[in-house]
Structures are given as C-alpha cells and as structure tokens.
Structure 1
C-alpha cells in the first residue's frame, strides 16, 4: 500500500492507518460507512474505542494528504454523515489502471501488442493485493476478484507467448504459477503445451499426472475433459500441437549460459528488463544496463531475462564476459573478432583494425534481430564498440559501474533481496525440511548476509552439504564481525574475493577513501562528514565518494552515504594501519562534537553545559544553516553517529571526549523521550567524570542519570543521583546547573506526593534565578510551582504563576510549553467552575501541542478535555476525547499517562451506564497506577473504583476503596481528598 505524489513516496503511517486508506481507495468516490471500516479493521472483535481510532486514522490521513498538497491533484478525504469519502480521479489508483489495461489488451490486434499491454498491467502488482496491510482472511474477502483478474491476465499473457512460439521462455513462469495455484487446470494445460513444444513430453505428462493425483486424493474429482484430451494428444504426439515450421526460430548463435539453479525473486526486474529490451517503433536500439554492488546476482538476472526474451531475437544471442572486474578487462577489438566468427565470418576475413571490425559487425547485424549480452563491463569505452547499429537488435549490459556516460534506455539499479525473497532463496537452497522461515536463527542468517544472493548461496550450500551444521550454529559463527567474511567462503565462491576485484580496480586515492570510510557509523555519513574523515576539501570528497558510488562500493541515499554491512567489514579489514584509523576518526568525531554542540545550544533546554571544542574546518556549504534552521531535525539524523562515538570514546578511555559528546545529545534525548539512550550516555559520562576527577562533569552526569530515572518513574534512584549531584554542585560553580538540578529534584518530589519538599526546591530555584537572566527557566519553574499549587487546591496562586509562565513562553514563541502550561491553566479554570473558559484554554493547549508534535502532552490535553466535557455534561464529546487520548498515548512510551486516561474514560463510561466497559478500563488503569509511585493518581483511581463498586451494589467494597483513597490523598495534602465519594472531576 503506497502513495506517490510528484514522484515521491508519502509516509502513510502505521499499518491500520494504511489499511483504512486502502478501504477508501477500493470504494473511491463512494461513501464508506464507519461501521464497515470498523468491521474490516477488527474482523474478530472491535474494541469500544474502534470508532474513535478510525476517526483518528482518518484525521491523520487527511493531514498526510494535505501535507502532500493532495488537493492540487484532485484528492480529498472528507467526512460525510455516517461515513467517509475519498474523492479522486479513478485513474490515479493502480487497481483501476490495471483493470483498464486488461480490457485494452483484449482489443489489441496482435499478440506482441497484447503482451506489451499485459506486461504494463502486471508490473503494477507487487505481491498479493493488500498483503502488507490486511490479515489474510480480510484480504481474501476483499480482493478475491482482484487476485482472479491478475491470474487471468497472467494466463492471457502466456497464451500470447505460446501463440508466438515462445514456449521455452514461459516454462519458468508457468512452473511458479502452478506451484502457487496447484488446482488451476488452465495453468497446467499451458505448462503441458509449453513442455511438449520444448521436446519435454515426459515432463508434460508428469505435470498432468501430478494434477490428476492431487485432484483425485484431495477432492475426489478428475481433470476437466479439455485437459484429459490434451494429455491424449500429447501421448499421440499430435502434430497439430506444434507450431508451423515457419514460425520456429531460425538458426543462429545461442550463447546464453544456463539459468542458475534455485533462482528466487527479482520478478519485477525481470519483467521490466524484458519489456525494455523488446524492440519498439521509432528506430532506437534498446540498450539496458544492470548495475549494483558485488554479489547481487547481476549476471544471473541478465541470463534469466535474456532467456525470457530470446524468442524476440530469432537470429541469435551473443554473450561474453568482459572481465571488467579484473585487472585486465577484455579488449573490445578481440571481443569483436570473436563475435564476427560467431556470426559466420571466416577467421581469415576478420579485419585487422578496431574501426574495420566495428563496421563489419554492424554490417553483419544489420537486418537481423540479435540480442547482445555484455557481462561485467568495465567502462563505457569498452562497451561502445560492441553495440550493433540495427534498432531491431538489443544490448543487455551488467557492470559494477553505473556507466553514466553511455546512452541507454534504462539503468536498472539492483539492490539486495528483501527478507521474504532472501528467506525463500535460502530455504530453496537448503531444502524446506532443514529450515523454517519462522526460525529466528534463519532470519538472523539472512540479516547477517545482508540480502546478498552470493552470500546466501554460500551459506545455503554449506547448510545443505553439512548435515551436522545447524542454522543456529551458523548464525552464531556469522555474528562475529571479525570472522564473518571467513565464513562466507564455499568452494571457489568467496565474498571477499568478489569485493577484492572491485577494490583492486581502484587507484590509490580511491582505495584510501574506501578504507577510511570504513569508520562510518551504522547509519552512514552525510557529505560534510566524509570530507572530515578524508581530510580533503568538500568538492574533492564529493568526487571521491561519488566515484565509489558509481562502482557500487558505497550506497547513496538522500543526503547520506552508507556501506553494505559486508562491504563495510571488508573496508575495515583494509584499514589496518592504527595511525591512519586514529587520525581519521579524530577528524570525524571533532566535527560531530562542534556541530552537536551548536545544535544542542539551539534546543529548548539545551546549551546547559559549556566546553571548548575544536573548530569546524570543513568547507561544507549549508550544514551550519541547516542546524540553525532545525537543530532537532539535524540531531534526528545524526545522533546515532554521536552515540556510537560516545561508546567508542568510553571504551578507549577518552574521558573528556565521552562527557563532551554526551552533553551534545542529552537535551535532544530528553526532547524525544529516549530515556534508555539518555541513561546509557549519562552512565558513560559519569564513569568518565569519575575517571577524570571533574566535579563539574560529575554533577552534570548525575543530573542526567537522575533525569532518566525520574522519567521512567524510578524515583528512588532518581533521588539518589540528584542528591549526589547537589552535594557536588558547590564545587561545580555553575548556577544554571544548580537551577536545573533543584528543579528536577522538585518535580520528582512532587510526583511522589512529597509536596512540602517539592515546594522548597522550587523556591530555591526561583531564588537562584533572581540573579540569572534566564527567562525560560524562570517560566518553567513557575509552571511546575503552579502545578503544585493546583494539586493543593490553591487556585488563585496556581493561576497567577501559570499565566506568568504562559506570557513568557509566548514571548519566546515556544509552542510546546505554551501548550503544556495552558493544559494546567485549563484544569484550574475547571476547578473554579469556569467550564467554558476551561474548554477554550484546553482546546488551545491541544492544538499547540499537536502543532509542536508532542504526542505525550497532546494525549494529556485530550484527557483534560474529556474531563471538562464530562463536567459540562457532553458525554459523547468526553468519550471521544478520552478514546482519542488513548490512541495518541499508545503511540508513546507514556504508560502513566495511558493509565490516567483509562481512569478518566472509566468515569465517562459510568456516567453513560456502561459499567462493564468502565470496569475493563478501570482495572487496567488502577493496576498500572498502583505500582507507579504516584500516590495522587493512585488515590484518584481508588475514588473511581469506589464509585464503580457502589454502582455495582457493593457498598462495603466502595467504602473500603474510598477510605484508602482518603487516607492516601490526605497524607500528601491533595485537594481531591475533599471529594472522596464524589464523581471524579479534576
């Protein structure tokens, strides 16, 4: 399920969201009832929140389409009464294009035209319809007619090939179809006819017998009369089954190698190449090149495609290995001499010069239809002389280089096999009885081979030939990066040798670049970082790396360069010199340190820690502007590289570098709620600070570890780290770090219900801030203090502090914290009885948080909106907000917020007399809150529990729950203690 706009793929979100869009597309321009979407999305049992979830998916899809400027293309997703409608041009949907092309194929005047149209139609498919978004039961129900139409198109295409005498070329396709559709008698009939015409009569009869046994044993029926008659005619060798002799292929060179055994995948590539090679009107010779990194199976693909189109070239097929990967590629003059002899020129008549040989070659191919396959081409110059001048011929080239200087119809850029095809290839090589696709070891082997067919063939052959070798044992061997390439050796096949050919073909400058780029992290490097690693100017670096891309040793993605995992291991082997490795890594890490510090200083709560770092010496245009424009987005891309650098620095005892690098990502990791990563880098930073004896960096690291512990609700650990940091702070001489730590301790105390202690810490923060010009931190402290006032029921002071914080955040233009503070203010307005004012403020809060992309706080705002709607008496709106809040929070790691929202939804459902549904949500919420360490929300959940028990007739149980809630809330001074026994309202 994909959407393309202006040539770019659109991110359609999670699977269920894509499924909803698929349903709308299948019924485009028609009203799709919400009930139908619910029924199809949850075929077994829909949750009560299903309508809300569907509404959320529709809203997000509408946002996605709006972002892609869908209206400009006539696409609109609208709500209409009880359902939704997707308005669009039907021709923009692939399934409609497919149906139209199938209809058009039946009106073609000749079979060649029919095949071209059907190839175009079938190229729109990428596996079974909706397989990526729908469960099989639902998929079959919705797309049975589409699967049948696809199968019929395949059969019609094969019929056309058979009528043209291309029986040998369709046998493979028919064999695959027969395996996928074992009861499809038309497919078996076509396979029998193709095998018979290829002088494989016994195989044709065997195909019939296999079907006969299957139908007899499993269904108790016989094959259809037409199929039985075909069997009889084959047994009699009926001449009428054969083609007219004039339609048979003429004699000519037939040099294509045999098909590789156990070939899997690449179906779309084969279809594309066959279509491209087919001569067209217009007099232009079709030249197609297949490129890709070593080990992808370029030659195997070229041979398979060449055999598929061989019937289109009845005057012959020439094939030669140009040895472009070796030290001495074939001379084009020698190749032409061989081609001329193959085309019937006597050896003595072959001209002496290259120019004369080119002329005679083009003369001998004129007026003839010949396919020329040039394998392993080295350069454009080597290939140009070997291209016929006749547009009825075709040329298929394979090369590790992109050959961008060659005029061609298409460059087919081959990539690794996807996981499904890679698993299928491995299983086919080993045998299904040895492997199970669900086995984690098998999947790990595929991952460690990186989807390279050559690597998979090597390990598959090992597993097949060594019965004692298990998938688990082989996977364990491959896990060790130091010896992985040693394991990928089988007979005369070796991954390392394949890479060596490409490496040896490079000059010294490019070999050095290849080696040094082995230092790149797993997520690759941007162009400016490659310049830092190579220690050259930006343009030189760009040229060197793009040259490596052209020979498929490096992969290029938008704004980034990467290695395939196995090629990276090979590059690391070549980077043997420690000095060369150390100096290049230092240049790369220093560049990341400088830019990371710049980005951190621009984040909301970044720039806390100051240190001197090396200057940024790369003349990379635009990188500084990119960081200044969107620092968080830059860190989204680059923080994995910084994390890897932190791990390396810590492992090698570089203390200063460890805590300096950690400082550049700490605020970002907090912003993105990546607590596990924050905990890891903070612990490494703490160990480094202890090793260096720096009180400043020790205090910083203790604060960061404490923050990660607090946000994961490990309050005991958080307090331990924060207190240790406060003891060191007087020696750190950093007032702002003191503010941050005091504030963090205060929040932790407040979350645990220790409100007097929290107030002291907040007051301490405000006291230190009097001497600092830090308006953001003052506003943040006022917000946290206002929250505490709210918990205590001190409404006037809470509103005063919260409004002061909002004013400051608005001056700063900080949408995230405007929204977060407005949420608290909306709760206060509800508490003092201003329900309309609360609603207005909370809607502003939700919209601001949604615009800032803060899902966690948006979910909390939706929860508060539900409470206000409930207080007004608008139960439908309250329920919708609570359910949408659950949907949003499920996309985050905020289990505490999710539990609170479940309690609020339970209250709404009880108001609607849906006690059983309320109980389910309440049980989940109470179970999580009872171990959360938050006595306030635990007590509020017990109030709701008491209300449920009372409504269920258990008055004694209700009183017990309320007594416990009153005790718990009174101990911390929570205002909710006054309302125990009443419906939850705040």
Structure 2
C-alpha cells in the first residue's frame, strides 16, 4: 500500500483488478482486523451517487477478492462480519501496518536511550515505501487516509534526522536535507534541521541563507512569516549562541504563542429562563431573599488565565469608572461563551457578590427571544417581590428592579442576548452590582462594556480539553491522531466537547477512528452530535435567525474554496452589482457566521470556520437546485477570470501574447478592480492560491473553457516569479478538462503554454513536441495568435540550439502571425529576440533598428517588463560595439527594474550580463562578484540551468584557481549533460579537464 496497491503471491505479484475491487481491498487493508461496514464501502466507491445495486456489487467484489487473496503470501482471510467485512492478517503482512509498528518501536527505543537502533528501525520503515501511498487509486475518500500515511512517512524521516543530529552526524545530513527541503519546501521542521546541520558543520553563512530561502518559500506560497522556532534559530546563529542538538536535552519547541481565549462549549445545563414559571411568591416582600440562579460550573473547563483575570477584574469594578461594571462575551457558535460566563460568575459569586446571582437565558438565537418585561418579572420574583406586587409596564418594572438592587451586590448574567435592545433595560443602576452578557452579536452599543471576543482554542488548549474529558493516556497514546482530531473540528470547543464525549462513552474507540469518521464532509455534522449536544442545532439557531437573503448568501459562499474571500464574491454569487458588496456580508459578520480575515489588495477579506462552511454547504445542497448553484458558481469563476484578464492587461498594456476563450466574465465593481489592480503583480501574488484553486474548481465543475483560459492567463505571474511547479500543476488540470470536453482550441492553448514552461526548464525536446502538436491545431483552426505564439517559442528553441537560420525564418513567420492578430507586444518580443541573433551575426545596424522599434512599441503602451527585456538587449549591443561603460549603466537600470517588479528570472540574467561587461572591461574582481551573485540568484529559485551557465562564466575567470574551478564545474557538467546543452557541456568538460 505504500506505493501502488499490490498483493504479493507465492510466485510474484497478484493482479488486483482496478476500480471497485481495488478500492475495497485498500479500505479493508487500511482497517485490517477491524470491521469495515458495507455502507462505508459503498460511500468509498460511489460517494454521492450509489446505484440501487450498490450493496450487491460490493458483495460480488468481496467474493472475487476472497479468491484472489487465497493465493497471497502469508495468512490472510476475508470474512463477513456484520455490518460488513473484516480482513484478518498479521501486522507484518501489510506494509502500512508494519511501517507504523516500526516507527512506534523506534520511538520507544529512542525514549529508552537506544538511538542507534531507533535510527536503523526508522530507515527500515521508510524503505518500505515505493512511492506515494495508494498511487493510482481512484477514490477521493481514501485519499485522506493516504495523505495521513504520507504525512507519517515524512514525520518518520524528520524523527530519524533529528536523532542523527543529536548523534552529531551534521555534515552527512546536509545533502539529504537540501533535497528534502526542495521536495517539501513548506515543511518548516525540515528547514530547521537543515539550518542546524549546516551550522554545526561549520557552514554558518549557508545556514543563514537556508533560513532566508525558507522565509521566501513561506512568503511566496502562503504569505506567512517563518515560525517562532525558525526565527529563534536565526537569532541564535547571529548571536553565536545556538546550542548543539543533544539527545539528553529536551528538544527545541516553538516559543509559546500569545495565549488565546479559553472558549468552551455553551453550557447545556438547564437553568432559570424567561419562559420558566416562577415559584409562587410570598404575600409580602421578603427582604432576605438571596437568589443563586447560576447553572452548574463545568469541571473540565480550560481557560486563558490572563483573560479570566481581566474579566474578573472588570466585573469587580477594578477599572475605577464609577459605573455599573459590564462585560460582554461574544463569539461564533460553539466557542464556549456561556461556559466562560458561568465559570467566571461562579468564581466571583461568594466573595464579590454575596447578595446573589441572577441568571437568564435570553434565547437570542431562537425564534422567540425573551422580552425585557418577561425577564424583569422573573428577576423581581427571584429578589423576593410577590407576583401581585410586580407592575405590568416595562418602565415600572425596570424602576422597581433598580430600586431593589440599589443597596445590594448582585451579579447579573444575561446569556445569549439577541442585541443591545434586549440588554439595556436589564442593567442595574447601582455600581455595587455587575452584569455579564453573552451574545453571538458583538453588542458594540453597550456603554462602557469590557469586551471579550472568543475564537477557537489554540492547539495546546484544545488538547488539554480533550485530555480532561477522555484522559491524558488516550491523548498521549495517539498523539498524532489527537492533533489531527482537534484540527478536523477546527479547534471549536463545542465540537471538541461532542467528539470527546463520544470517545469517553466508547473507550474501545480509537482517536484515529474518530478522525476517520469525521473525514467525510457529508457526514461530519452527523458525527458531531451526542445526547443533547449537537453542532448542527447550535449553528441552526443562528442560521434561522438570519434574514432569508442573508441565509441564501451564506449558502452560496460555501461554494468558494479559497481560505479567505474578497468582498466582490458576494455580489457575483447574487448577481448584485452594488458598488460596496461588503455591505452584503456585514450581517453575516455581525452574528459571526463569517469572520473578517483582514485587509488585502482591494479591501476586506472574509473567511469561514470550516464547520460553519460544512453546515452552509449542507444547506446549499437542500435549498438550491443544481442549475441555480451552477449559475452562481459560473458568475464567481467569471469574476476571477475578469480580474486575472485585467491584471494581464495592466502588465502588458493590453490583451497581448495571450489566448482567451469564450467563457463569460462577471465584472466586480470598477472601484474595487481599480484599487485591487493598482499593482497587478502584487494582486496576482496575493490571490495566487485562490486563482490556482479556481482553475481546478472550474475544471471539476465542467467549466473547461474558463479553466484553460484562467490557467494560461496566470502565466503572467508564473513567468515573472518563477513558479514553475504551479505553472505545470494548473496546466495539467486544465489540460485534462479540455481533453475530456473535446475542446481542441483549449487543448492547443494549454499545450503551447506548457511548451513555454518546458523551454524555461531547458527541456527542449519536450517543449518542441508540445509546440508542434499545438501548432497543428492552430493552423487547422486558422488561429493567428496561437500560430504566432508557437512559432515564436519554436524559434527560441532553434536559437538556443545554435540554428540561427531556422530561428530567423520562424521569427519572420511569427511576425506575420502577430500582425494578423493585431498583437503589437508579440511583434516587439519577436523583434527583440531576433535582434539578439543579428548581433551574433554582426548585423549591428539591423539589430539596432529592431530594438528601437521594440522600444517604441513598449513605451507607447507602457509595458515596463517588455521595455526592460529589450533594454537588456540594447546593453548587449552596446557591449558588442565596445561601449562597455554605457552597457553597464544600461544593465544596472534594467536590474533595478527587475528588482522593483520582483522579476527574479530577469535579475539572474542581468547579474550575468554585468559580469560579462566587467570581464570585457578588464575588471575581473567586479565580474567575479556579479557571477557569484548570479549563481546564487539562479540556484535559489531552482533554475539549475541558469546556475550552471553562471558557474561556467565564473570558471572562465578562475583558471588560476583549479580547486574552486573544479567545485564550480563539476555540478555544471551534470546539468549540461542532463539538459543536453552540447556547446556548454563541451566547454565545461574542457575547462574541468584542465583543472
């Protein structure tokens, strides 16, 4: 299973038929020796749309698997066990189980001090893997388990490296860690281990550069700064105070984050509410009545001590304001507002408020909230006023209430308030009393309130809450599963309490099994229910209180898959063109069904808590027919397409050098578009995740024309930033969609764009094949833009291979095609590229005319990037003419333009150009500096071809330093050989032989 699914027979591998049998076998193996229900197998195979014969088909598959497994090595039996099937086998017969067992044994050995043996077991565990878990298996639900095992594999590698670092094997780990950080650039632990290995190998400068590389990865891909752990490593290196790894010392852990609130689930205990009839009052006023109406406190409460102390101080009148102390606890459903309020009230009750505690559930999230008149009647009776003496009007009851409390110290707890209007009449007039309010609304109009807004628990407090309910042994015994569990429920206190209660009620359940049950989004809310506690009921209270239009928007927003959402999405989903679409979202923010995630390009960003998103999707499926959902999604996708197209236009000065399809666009407000795209590359950077995700989402929804159009439009970003992996991933997804739909033009557009990508990677044979196949289609369709783009790139391949004659012929035909398409930027690019050939052939005047024309075009439309690339060629022409100092000035100007725009590819080119210029000028020290920087710049972005060329440049200068030349040329030769760069390989081998 640790790779493609395979069953080993006595004489070799047994063939497992692909499809249903493969999925069923994988599911049974993953749960070997445990029952897998038939309904689970049906869900795994057909997900949302099982046929009526699903169970019968499962039975047939199981019968065939029994025959297959009869020939398997080792003892394995597949038996029926209601409500499904169980596959009995020894742990050693299943590689996934054996892997887990070896890792567990290794952890135990390490803890007992046998580090060497632990390393050996971890190496054995990892060698069981033959690729990604369950490679090629077509089952979305099983992918979650496969991802978990893939994650455990990396965790085992990280643990083994950590132990080897503790054993002092720093230098031998560097190469492996460099490979691992390249393959997994977002894993901070690997970056931290590489930094430590480099530092303790005596390579402090490289350790700091490794930190900077990690920071760039995290900023580019996630928009995040490194963790505290990585930042602490950098600070320790700079201070010269990094302690060596030591097996006997506790491992470094990230510094604690600022403490979060300790929200917990809403107290479910029934207490006095406005609808409960009062105990009959005495006939006369009782002066000695002391109400104690608080619900019971919760024993397993977890809290942020600092926040608790501040809340208690505010209610005790510690702010010295001279007014009634008032505190408001707000937060989204399930964050533990009521629990926190009850806990604080109990802490203050006896010493701070000896004259009593009043409590009322105001039912603000129900369809019938308590009225202030009802609540005051209840409170007055609790304070000893007989029913017949309580006046009817609100004003008179409020006066009596304030009078009754005037000389007393009473704490009033108002739970689940709908809004300020429900609370204000219930405030006492005496500062000896205090009021604590909870609400899902923010209650910003409550005068002088100390406000506490609860969010989800941080991971440490979530694990602490889980431990208190089910026991610390179960949590520490399944530490990885425990962390996965709290993440799966989004660290939401009520959801965590529910799953913990279910686990406590079923001690035979593992935490991993609960994670598995929650993995299926369609059933997650069904699993988040236990007795009276249900997540669905908690969310529905707020949902049902929304206006119909707000409920509809919440449902439609759940279709968006980006982590944060721009405000214009609301307008697109509703087809509402108002200038300030954020107004549509504010009602959802007010009741905390949607959070404000901050400000980014173009305005506010919003986000869902994942469980709220799941609830909204559940309602979406029920309330909106498929055609309505599809139309809303198409508008949302069309909005992203419109913005991406406008960003490309702002970069290039128009719809130049790009192909577009016929998918409809939806235009966000013009003011939003202007603000968001003031810096189009910055917007593309910020929205990179959402845009790339939309390529895949559109493909999944059948919008193939939009998927390829958006993918090719994003090349604007991918080229400048060097995001080659994203370039390939988005295009592979779009290519599958257009092929499936029979979209010939879309297929050709994607292949042509992939041809450009392969060229950027120096994979010229692959690029040539992609471009020729695309060109054939474009010629058949008589698409001049497609033909122009293909011929332009084919000319560049010919030029790179030294075939200048073919290159010039292709450039000439490409010029004709670009002119037919009316693309002046395409014309300017071709003129610039062909001018380089003219320079090499000594046709200086022709090259100059072509560059002048290209510059005129770029300056006319304001395309800075194109102007920079052409000026680079001007600098090279100046160098050919012997005007070296002017060439250096030109190269320096272009280098600054590249840095200003974040063009890391262009920066590497210009550093080499400056090295060449200073070489010509007889200033080898300056040339060496620029070549050194060029090597670093190219290899930092994994452009190993560019790095190899810069290494060759530098080696030419260092013929008197054979050791350094050998160090430079050895990896360069490998790159030239791999990339089939014949001319460069010949020269590099000659220089290497002379070392």
Category of TM-score, reference length = shorter chain: 0.5 to 0.7
Partner Cα distance (2:721, 2:928) in 1: 29
SS at match of 2:585: helix
Work out the CA distance in 2 between the residues paired with 1:381 and 1:905: 76
State the secondary structure of the residue aligned to 2:791: helix
Per the alignment, do residues 866 and 286 of structure 1 end up closer, same or farther by CA in structure 2, a change over 3 Å counting?
farther
Q: Is the 8 A contact 2:211 2:234 kept in 1?
A: no
Q: Identify the residue that residue 273 of structure 1 maps to in structure 2.
A: 311
Do the aligned residues in 1 keep the contact of 2:931 with 2:953 (CA within 8 Å)?
Answer: yes
Contact 1:378 1:399 in 2 (8 A): yes
Match for residue 200 of structure 2? 44
SS at match of 2:615: helix
Distance 1:702 1:615 in 2: 24
- Following superposition, the deviation at residue 744 of structure 1 comes to 1.5
Which residue of 597, 600, 605 corresponds with 1:560?
Answer: 605
2:485 alignment partner in structure 1: 445
Structure 1 residue 304, shift from structure 2 partner: 4.5
Task: Give 1:246's aligned residue.
Answer: none
Tell me what 2:443 maps to: 403
1:727 aligns with 2:767: no
The answer for the alignment partner of 2:591 in structure 1 is 551
Is 1:945 the counterpart of 2:992? The answer is: yes
In structure 2, what is the Cα distance between the partners aligned to 1:336 and 1:674?
64
2:331 — aligned with what? Answer: 292
SS in 1 for 2:438: strand
CA-CA distance at 1:252 after TM superposition:
6.5
Q: 1:138 aligns with which of 213, 236, 242?
A: 236
Q: Cα deviations across residues 571-627 of structure 1 (Å, max 9, x unaligned)? A: 111122324323333443444444544444444284533555657577x35134346
- Select the residue among 891, 895, 899 that pairs with 1:850: 899
Partner of 1:582 in structure 2? 630
Partners in 1 of 2:711 and 2:371 — Cα distance? 56
CA separation of 1:273/1:881 partners in 2, compared to 1, >3 Å: closer, same or farther?
farther
Q: Which residue is 1:321 aligned to?
A: 361
Query: What is the rounded CA distance, in whole Å, between the counterparts of 1:786 and 1:779 in structure 2?
Result: 10
For residue 931 of structure 1, the aligned residue among 954, 971, 978 is 978
Structure 2 SS opposite 1:299 = helix
Q: Which residue of 1 aligns with 2:530?
A: 490
- The separation in 2 between residues aligned to 1:53 and 1:306, in whole angstroms, is 53
C-alpha spacing 1:579/1:843, structure 2 compared with 1 (3 Å): closer
Equivalent positions of 1:246-395 (< 5 A) are 257=295, 260-264=298-302, 266-267=304-305, 269-274=307-312, 276-277=314-315, 278-306=317-345, 313=353, 316-343=356-383, 345=385, 350-395=390-435
Q: 1:785 aligns with which of 814, 818, 834?
A: 834
Preserved contact between residue 462 and residue 496 of structure 2 (Cα < 8 Å): yes
Match of 2:21 in 1: none
Q: Which residue of 2 aligns with 1:859?
A: 908
Asked if the contact 1:52–1:884 (Cα under 8 Å) also holds between the matched residues in 2, the reply is no
Going from structure 1 to structure 2, the CA distance change for 1:534 and 1:771 (only over 3 Å counts) comes to: closer
Instruction: Measure, in 2, the Cα distance between the counterparts of 1:46 and 1:556.
Output: 46
Asked whether the 8 Å contact 2:755–2:768 carries over to 1, the reply is yes
Partner of 2:869: 820
Partner of 2:617: 572
Query: How far apart, in 1, do the equivalents of 2:684 and 2:344 lie?
Result: 44
User: Number of aligned pairs?
Assistant: 735
Computed over aligned residues only, the root mean square deviation of the Cα atoms, in angstroms, reads 4.5
Whether the 8 Å CA contact 1:820–1:849 is kept in 2: the answer is no
- 1:609 and 2:765 correspond: no
How has the CA–CA distance of structure 1 residues 714 and 440 changed in structure 2, closer, same or farther, with 3 Å as cutoff?
farther
Cα distance in 2, alignment partners of residues 881 and 303 from structure 1: 67
User: What CA deviation, in whole Å up to 9, does each residue of 1:681-718 have, x standing for no partner?
Assistant: 44455455556655544432321232233334443332
Asked if the contact 1:416–1:451 (Cα under 8 Å) also holds between the matched residues in 2, the reply is: yes
- State how 1:91-240 maps to structure 2 within 5 Å: 133-135=231-233, 138=236
- Write the deviation string for residues 99-129 of structure 1: whole angstroms up to 9, x where unpaired: xxxxxxxxxxxxxxxxxxxxxxxxxxxxxx9
Report if the CA contact (8 A) 1:599-1:627 is conserved: no
**Kept after mapping to 1: 8 A contact 2:478/2:511:** no
1:769, 1:396 → 2: CA distance?
Answer: 71
Q: Does the C-alpha gap of structure 1 residues 568 and 882 become closer, same or farther in structure 2, counting only changes over 3 Å?
A: same
Task: Write the deviation string for residues 362-399 of structure 1: whole angstroms up to 9, x where unpaired.
Answer: 22333555443322112222111221223344332221
- CA distance 1:330–1:539, change in 2 (3 Å): farther
Residue 331 of structure 2 contacts residue 454 of structure 2 at CA under 8 Å; is this kept in 1? yes
SS at match of 2:979: coil
> In the alignment, is the contact (CA less than 8 A) between 1:52 and 1:880 conserved in 2?
no
Q: Aligned ranges for residues 713-752 of structure 1 at < 5 Å? A: 713-751=762-800
Q: Over residues 23-55 of structure 1, what are the superposed CA-to-partner deviations in whole Å (9 max), with x where a residue is unaligned?
A: xxxxxxxxxxxxxxxx99986356475699699
Report 1:375-524 matches (<5 A). Answer: 375-426=415-466, 429-435=469-475, 441-463=481-503, 465-524=505-564
- TM-superposition CA deviations, 1:253-286 (whole Å, max 9, x none): 6655555444456455445534544433342334
* Maintained 8 Å contact 2:775/2:786: no
Q: Secondary structure at the match of 2:323?
A: coil
Q: Give the secondary structure class of the aligned counterpart of 1:279.
A: coil
- Asked if the contact 2:289–2:382 (Cα under 8 Å) also holds between the matched residues in 1, the reply is no
* Residue ranges of structure 2 left out of the alignment (5+ in a row): 1-194, 217-226, 243-258, 263-287
**Helix, strand or coil at the partner of 1:556:** strand
Cα shift at 1:289: 1.9
C-alpha change, 1:461 and 1:734, in structure 2 (3 Å) is: same
SS for the counterpart of 2:767 is helix
Question: Do the aligned residues in 2 keep the contact of 1:787 with 1:798 (CA within 8 Å)?
Answer: yes
TM-score by length of 2: 0.64
CA–CA distance in 1 between the matches of 2:697 and 2:212? 43
Match of 1:5 in 2: none
1:141-198 Cα shifts (integer Å, max 9, x gaps): 9999xxxxxxxxxxxxxxxxxxxxxxxxxxxx9xx9xxxxxxxxxxxxxxxxxxxxxx
Q: CA deviation at 1:850?
A: 0.7
Partners of 1:797 and 1:822 lie apart in 2 by 16
Counterparts of 2:880 and 2:969, CA distance in 1: 23
Instruction: Specify the SS of the correspondent of 2:327.
Output: strand
